[in-house]
């Protein structure tokens, strides 16, 4: 299994969000990365509270659906 790389995920997030470090104000860069890492940490803690795989998978599916709906609403 390939190691998860937070910096790579951060770069993907910026790309998918249409953001560029080169054009962001320094404060925006700092606050956006803090929000990204905090969100990743919260998801990590959320999935760590479940004891069985099925519950984690169900939770991931529900969260995926919410995220998909959010981005559909944000981009329309």
**Averaged pLDDT of the chain:** 91
Give tens-digit pLDDT for 41-60: 998 898 888 888 899 899 88
Three-state secondary structure readout of 55-67: HHHHHHHHHHHHH
Question: Is the pLDDT assigned to residue 1 strictly greater than 60?
Answer: no
Cβ-defined contacts of 26-35 (< 8 Å, 24+): none
Taking the C-alpha atoms of residue 23 and residue 44, their distance in angstroms, rounded to an integer, is 30
Six-digit token pair at 37?
Answer: 């890492």
Domain boundaries, the chain: 42-76
Report helix, strand or coil for 69: helix
pTM value is 0.76
Identify which of 25, 17, 2 has the alpha carbon closest to the alpha carbon of residue 67.
17
């Amino acid at each position: 299994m390939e190691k998860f790389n937070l910096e790579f995920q951060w770069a993907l997030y910026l790309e998918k969000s249409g953001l560029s470090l080169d054009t962001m104000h320094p404060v925006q860069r700092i606050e956006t990365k803090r929000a990204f890492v905090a969100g990743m940490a919260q998801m990590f803690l959320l999935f760590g509270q479940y004891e069985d795989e099925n519950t984690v998978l169900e939770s991931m599916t529900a969260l995926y659906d919410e995220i998909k709906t959010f981005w559909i609403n944000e981009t329309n």
